[in-house]
Amino acid sequence: MLDLSSAKSIYSNPLLAKQFIKYISAFELLTVVNEANKKGDLILNNQSIIDGILDSNDEGKLLLLASGSKLDEFARSDKFLTLYNKGDVFKSALFGNSQYDWYALSIWNSEVLDAILEDVLKEDSQLKKPFYKNPRMDRKLIASIIKAKDFDRSKHTYDFTKINFYERYTACSLAIDVDEIRSEDYYGKDSPDNNELYFSKPHDALLILVRDLFLSWDDEESYASGHLTNLIHYADKVEIELDYYDWLTEDEQSLLDSKYSDFTARYDQSHIDAFHKLIEFFNKHTSSYKPTDKNSEEITLFRNYSRVCMTITIIPKLLSSYRLRDSTDVFLPIILNSNNWVIRASGYSFIFQNIDILNDTKNLDNFIDRYKTDLMPVMWSMFSSSHLILVNRVNREAYHKINDLLDSLNLDEDMIKFFDDISQFLYGYQYRDVDSDILEKKYENKIRYNSYKSIGKYIDPSHKLQEGLSYQLGKTVGKLFKWLESFIEVILIDRSMICSIYYAS
């Protein structure tokens, strides 16, 4: 007898399975599908079942198909459009379908892309959540929405540059806040599938949204401070990589192309140059802040300092990223010697997140002692990261020492409350209901596998940061050579020459 919950049974008699589907209700089919899933049989991916549902023209069963089938051949046929054009409910079902290969649709049926973008990006669309929260949606496309940068002009005519900040923020916050569904391993698989390869693209795109919010800070219609404050929590919880082509001009990229014939060397240098520019950018836009300056009673501390918190959140993450972690000893001395306390705090935050204080506080003591003449930025470095929550939960002695340090700064009540609030509401939210033993394991894994191994010299009081020619050149990329000011009044050097001299040294 036919058993629709068994892939083996369906395979044994596909014609009967296809015909039988026509005579059961959508609810009955849902029950059968759930029963089959428990066995590991994904019957909605069976071609006989798919054909039977399509032939039935039953909207309930078609919705089930749209929401839970791989629809393997649909990307290359008009079957996708047949379901898509049935209305918003079907569009919602398709957008939420994490079985479907959305990357294939962009390749084989890209003419539907403009329709999808118009449907999702219109202001009152109810399709945003299933679209952005699907971990297997085309994450490159979502990243382009977050960046407001064209996806691929050969595949669409939609003008991405008209996407407003609210839409970009919505895309970023929804896409980041999902868990990845990795593909199953299969025989002969020698590289990640598209959904694995591009999953983090929306995380990386956050950098460009942050940059544009910084640049639109004084535009009242941009709501830049509000969007940026809300994004800090998302930036803190994910790993971020730097896309160099978002930070280097075409001329700068062409210069690197002509200088480096080896692809790997050129690729690595592109990321190093881009990170220099990113540091310069954050330095420029935070240089006017003071560590305890509220500026105006009408501006909340959260809004006033959101650029500070975001800077201190992002730079340590990039220092730990795959492309830049081998250049830490190039960048960290530059960052720690910055005239801008916000940039220095980002360096201190990197150090704080990489020292092991699970079982004792010796490294914490050394860290505080090493930078005791700059304690206010040190305090910002600790409170501008969820890592502080881990430290407080896994080592109570460290918790008390950090709070004693905060008390020793004699801050007013507003600033003390602000530091407590940012640790609880911006950074600590993701760990609020997590058991201590789980946090301890997370901390242990982070220090053991992900930490920067040579951090000891940056908390060793006997070790001095390099401040020679290499440091000065790195710090003044794109500016005047300060070390030559005693010999000549002004030297104007093109940025590309400075970069080439610096990296040659």
Segment 326-340 shows an average pLDDT of: 94
Model confidence at 140: pLDDT above 70: yes
Residues 6+ apart with CB under 8 A from 261: none
Residues 6+ apart with CB under 8 A from 499: 273, 276, 477
Model confidence at 464: pLDDT above 90: no
Model confidence at 496: pLDDT above 80: no
Looking at per-residue confidence, does 187 or 147 come out higher?
Answer: 147
Looking at per-residue confidence, does 191 or 407 come out higher?
Answer: 407
pLDDT tier, 297 (very low <50, low <70, confident <90, very high otherwise): low
Between 77-81, 398-402, 476-480, the lowest mean confidence (pLDDT) is in 476-480
- One-letter amino acid for residue 299 of the chain: I
Considering the chain, what is the average pLDDT of its residues?
86
Interaxial angle between packed helices 396-408 and 387-394, expressed in degrees from 0 to 180 and rounded to the nearest 10 = 120
Segment 206-224 shows an average pLDDT of: 93
Cα 361-364-365 angle, rounded to 5 deg: 85
- Per-position DSSP letters for 377-440, written without gaps between them: HHHHHHHSSTHHHHHHHH-HHHHHHHHHHHHHTT--HHHHHHHHHIIIIIISGGGTT--HHHHH
Between 141-145, 344-348, 495-499, the lowest mean confidence (pLDDT) is in 495-499
pLDDT tier, 78 (very low <50, low <70, confident <90, very high otherwise): confident
Model confidence at 253: pLDDT above 90: yes
pLDDT tier, 465 (very low <50, low <70, confident <90, very high otherwise): low
pLDDT tier, 296 (very low <50, low <70, confident <90, very high otherwise): low
Q: Which of 129, 128, 386 is nearest to 233 (CA)?
A: 386
Tens-place pLDDT, residues 5-49: 888 888 889 899 889 898 999 999 999 999 988 888 888 988 999
Q: How far apart are CA 282 and CA 342, in angstroms?
A: 9
Instruction: State the pLDDT at residue 215.
Output: 96
pLDDT tier, 469 (very low <50, low <70, confident <90, very high otherwise): very low
Q: Is 259 exposed, middle or buried (0-12, 13-18, 19+ CB in 10 A)?
A: middle
Model confidence at 486: pLDDT above 90: no
Segment 47-62 shows an average pLDDT of: 92
For the chain, the structural domain boundaries read: 1-69, 75-181+195-199, 235-466
Model confidence at 497: pLDDT above 60: no
The DSSP call for residue 490 is -
Instruction: State the pLDDT at residue 110.
Output: 85
pLDDT tier, 300 (very low <50, low <70, confident <90, very high otherwise): confident
The DSSP call for residue 22 is G
Instruction: State the pLDDT at residue 298.
Output: 62
Model confidence at 238: pLDDT above 50: yes
pLDDT tier, 299 (very low <50, low <70, confident <90, very high otherwise): low
- Per-position DSSP letters for 293-310, written without gaps between them: ----TTS-HHHHTHHHHH
Q: How far apart are CA 490 and CA 481, in angstroms?
A: 9
pLDDT tier, 462 (very low <50, low <70, confident <90, very high otherwise): confident
- Per-position DSSP letters for 101-166, written without gaps between them: -HHHHHHH-GGGHHHHHHHHHSTT-S-HHHHHT-TTS-HHHHHHHHHT--S-TTT----GGG--HH
Residues 6+ apart with CB under 8 A from 144: 150, 151, 160, 205
Instruction: State the pLDDT at residue 377.
Output: 97
Segment 150-178 shows an average pLDDT of: 92
The DSSP call for residue 372 is G
User: 316 and 350 in contact (C-beta within 8 Å)?
Assistant: yes
384-414 b/e (C-beta count within 10 Å ≥ 16 → b): bbbbbbbbbbbbeebbebbeebbeeeebeee
**CA distances from residue 489 to 109, 169, 478, 481, 498 in whole angstroms, order as listed:** 62, 47, 17, 10, 18
pLDDT tier, 482 (very low <50, low <70, confident <90, very high otherwise): very low
Instruction: State the pLDDT at residue 481.
Output: 33
Looking at per-residue confidence, does 298 or 417 come out higher?
Answer: 417
Q: Is 57 exposed, middle or buried (0-12, 13-18, 19+ CB in 10 A)?
A: exposed
* Conformation bin of residue 481: beta by default, left when phi > 0, alpha when psi is -120 to 50: beta
- Kindly state the helix (H) or strand (E) to which residue 54 belongs, with its residue range: helix 47-56
Q: How far apart are CA 397 and CA 357, in angstroms?
A: 10
- Per-position DSSP letters for 34-51, written without gaps between them: HHHHHHT--GGG-HHHHH
The DSSP call for residue 447 is I
Model confidence at 139: pLDDT above 80: yes
Q: Which of 327, 443, 455 is nearest to 386 (CA)?
A: 443
Looking at per-residue confidence, does 196 or 342 come out higher?
Answer: 342
Q: How far apart are CA 318 and CA 324, in angstroms?
A: 7
The pair of structure tokens assigned to 13 is 């008699």
Residues 6+ apart with CB under 8 A from 172: 146, 202, 205, 206, 209, 231, 234
Tens-place pLDDT, residues 425-443: 888 877 878 888 888 888 8
Q: How far apart are CA 166 and CA 147, in angstroms?
A: 12
Model confidence at 337: pLDDT above 70: yes
Report CA 202 to chain centroid distance, whole Å: 6
User: 142 and 172 in contact (C-beta within 8 Å)?
Assistant: no
Q: How far apart are CA 267 and CA 241, in angstroms?
A: 14
Residues 6+ apart with CB under 8 A from 402: 364, 382, 388, 391, 392
Q: Give percent of the chain with pLDDT exceeding 90.
A: 59
Instruction: State the pLDDT at residue 466.
Output: 59
Segment 461-467 shows an average pLDDT of: 67
